[in-house]
Homo-oligomer: A and B are copies of this chain.
Amino acid sequence: MGVQKGNLDLIRDLNRRLVLDAIIRDQPISRADLARKLSLSRSTVSMIVNDLQEKEMVIELGMGDSTANGGRKGQMLGFNPRSAFLLGMDLQKNRINSVLADLSGTVEQKETIPFNEDLDELKTILSRYLERIEPDYRVLGIGVSVPSIVKDHQIVVDAPSLGWYNVNLAKVLSEAFDLDVFVMNDVNAAAFGERWIGQSSLVDDLFYLSVGTGVGSAIISGGDLVAGFEQAAGEIGYMLTEEDIKQGTVYEKGRFGTFERKITSLLHTCESSKEARNRLVHLMALMMSNVCILLNPEKVIIGGYYETILKAMIPEIQGLVQRLVPISTVIEYGALGEDASAMGTIKGLLDSMKDQMIRKI
C-alpha cells in the first residue's frame, strides 16, 4: 500500500512533477537549463514541456537573455498557477470558512457561510458553490478541516462541536461530487496554511500553537506532520506542571485540559491584572521552552482568537525562552488569521495528490 510500485507511469509522473517544480521554483527558465539542472536529456524535457503546455500549466514567456558565449537564445518558460483551482473549507460550529485558491495558493474567492453542522446541508452548500464556479474554473479537489481527530484523511472520528462521530466525510463528499477530498484536523490544517503562505520560504520544522476555545498545537517535522499513534499528537492543552502532580490532579474524561484551563482563565483576566499577565507569560514560556528543547523547531507560530493579547506578549516570551534553554527558535504570530485552516487543507490536498496531480489536469 504505502510502497509505490514501479512502472512506466510512475517515472512519467515523477519526471513531469520534477520539471514542473523546477519551473515553479526557477522561472523564467529555458528547456536547456532545466535539462542541465535536473540531469534529464534535452529531448525528455522538451517532450514533457510540450505536454505541460497542452495542459496550460506552463506558458512560454519569450526569449531569454543572450548567454555569455553567444549561441541561440532559449525560450523562457513560466508556471501558470491558474490552470487549476482548489476549494478549502474549515467547518466549525455555526459557520464554514471557505477559500477558493489557485495552484500557487493565491486566493480567488473567500466566503464565510452560516452552518448548522448538518451533513446534507454541507452537500447542498457545496453543490451550489461548485455549480457557480465550475464554468469559470477547473476545480481539482476539496480540502476540508474539522475540529476533530481525523483518520486516514477521511474519517471524522469525533467532533463534539459539530455532533459528528465516525463520519467518513471524504467518502461522502467525493462520491457526491466526483472530486478528490482531503480531510484534516483544523489545527493541523492551520499549521499547514501558515507554513505554506505566511512564510517567505517553506519552514520544515515548525511548532504551531492554536489558542482559541481550547489550546491545541500541531507539529511539523522535516516537512511532515507528526500525527501520533492515534492521530492525537499536539494535545498540549493537557500539559501538566509539577504542582499539578503534587496536588494529585487527575485526568477526567470530557473535561478541558489542565493547561488550557489555566491559559483560558488567565487570558480573560490578564488585561486587568498585571499578576495574571505575568503568570500567562511565564506559563507560555515554560511550555515553549520544553517544546523547543524536545522538538528543536525553526519557528513557533501562534494563531487563534487572541491575536491582540498574545502578539504583544511575544517579545517577552521570546526573551524568557532564550534565557532558559539553549535554542534559537523564533516565535511569531500567524499571518493568515481565520483563513489559515482552509488554506492549509488546500496544501494538504495538493501534497496528497503529489505526482498524480498533473495527470488529473
Contact = CB atoms under 8 A, between A and B. Distances in A.
Nearest to A244: B324
A251 B326 contact: yes
What's the interface size class on A, roughly? 35 or more
Interface string A52-65: 00000000000000
A325 interface: yes
B14 A242 contact: no
Given A323-B250, A324-B251, A326-B253, A228 B6 contact: no
Interface in A1-53: 3-8, 10-15, 17-18, 21, 38-40
A219 interface: yes
Contact of A240 (B39, B226, B289): B289
Interface stretch (A112-120, A133-141, A161-169, A229-237): A229-237
A249 interface: yes
Given A224-B224, A245-B286, 7 more contacts: A5-B14, A10-B10, A229-B296, A229-B297, A239-B293, A242-B286, A244-B324
Interface of A: 3-8, 10-15, 17-18, 21, 38-40, 204-205, 217, 219, 221-222, 224, 226-236, 238-246, 249-251, 253, 257, 282-283, 285-286, 289-291, 293-298, 320, 323-329
28 contacts: A3-B18, A5-B38, A5-B39, A6-B10, A6-B14, A6-B18, A8-B11, A10-B14, A204-B229, A217-B294, A221-B221, A222-B226, A222-B227, A224-B224, A230-B296, A231-B296, A232-B296, A233-B296, A234-B296, A235-B293, A235-B296, A236-B293, A240-B286, A240-B289, A242-B283, A245-B286, A245-B324, A251-B326
